């Protein structure tokens, strides 16, 4: 009876964690969409502002059709409008060049799926022969590239002098055909 309760409890925990992951994923997608919409609204607002200022500038130039361009530029109101249009155009260019970190990550994931590479996480066991060694001292397989290591409550970038310990979670990239040998390296 107790083993059945433990199994039901474990299954229920798995279902809850799966539901939690799904909710987080949906929240991330909604946030990404909201950020895109916000950037589009900002860009549209800036474009309309530029158009309005250009119309005002055209009207001011038309009012002073008898003056040369150099004299027009010296007029404070026209000079101010030209500066405003140029500043707003720079803001628009900056807004249009923003790329969401989520968008970059999803592009990378799509590219990775179509490639011959895979990202793998593995927890280092207490029995691993490389406990306490640096990444450089481990003599990794040439097909493996370590990105980062999760150590208890922090993530550290994987440099040659980074030491590995039991229960560290290593995240690495390798070719799909070498995944088994790369996993075996950590066993």
Average of per-residue pLDDT across 148-167 = 91
Cα–Cα distance, 167 to 158 (Å, whole number):
16
Q: Is the alpha carbon torsion for 52, 58, 62, 67 positive or negative? A: positive
Predicted model pTM:
0.48
The token pair that represents 137 in the structure block: 């001292």
C-alpha of 90 from chain center: 24
Residue 148 pLDDT: 92
pLDDT in tens, 54-107: 888 888 888 877 887 777 777 888 888 888 888 888 887 877 776 666 667 777
Residue 161 pLDDT: 93
Q: Which letter, b or e, does each residue of 47-65 get, where b requires 16 or more Cβ atoms within 10 Å of its Cβ?
A: eebbeebeeebeebeeeee
Average pLDDT of the chain to the nearest whole number: 82
Average of per-residue pLDDT across 128-137 = 92
Cα–Cα distance, 65 to 187 (Å, whole number):
82
Average of per-residue pLDDT across 144-164 = 91
For residue 163, pLDDT over 90 is answered with yes
For residue 107, CA distances in Å to 22, 103, 113 come to 20, 6, 10
Percent of the chain with pLDDT over 70: 83
Angle between helices 2-63 and 101-114 in degrees, nearest 10: 120
């Amino acid at each position: 009876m107790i083993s059945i309760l433990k199994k039901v409890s474990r299954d229920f925990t798995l279902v809850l964690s799966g539901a939690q992951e799904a909710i987080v994923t949906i929240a991330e997608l909604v946030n990404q969409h909201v950020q895109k919409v916000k950037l589009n609204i900002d860009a549209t607002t800036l474009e309309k502002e530029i158009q309005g200022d250009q119309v005002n500038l055209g009207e001011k130039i038309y009012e002073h059709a008898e003056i040369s361009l150099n004299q027009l530029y010296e007029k404070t109101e026209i000079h101010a409008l030209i500066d405003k249009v140029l500043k707003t155009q720079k803001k628009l260019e900056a807004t249009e060049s923003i790329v969401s970190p989520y968008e970059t990550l999803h592009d990378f994931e799509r590219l990775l799926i179509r490639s011959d590479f895979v990202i793998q996480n593995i927890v280092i066991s207490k029995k691993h022969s490389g406990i306490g060694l640096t990444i450089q001292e481990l003599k990794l397989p040439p097909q493996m590239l370590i990105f980062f290591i999760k150590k208890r409550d922090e993530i550290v970038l994987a440099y040659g002098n980074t030491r590995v310990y039991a229960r560290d979670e290593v995240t690495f990239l390798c070719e799909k055909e070498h995944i088994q040998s790369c996993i075996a390296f950590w066993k």
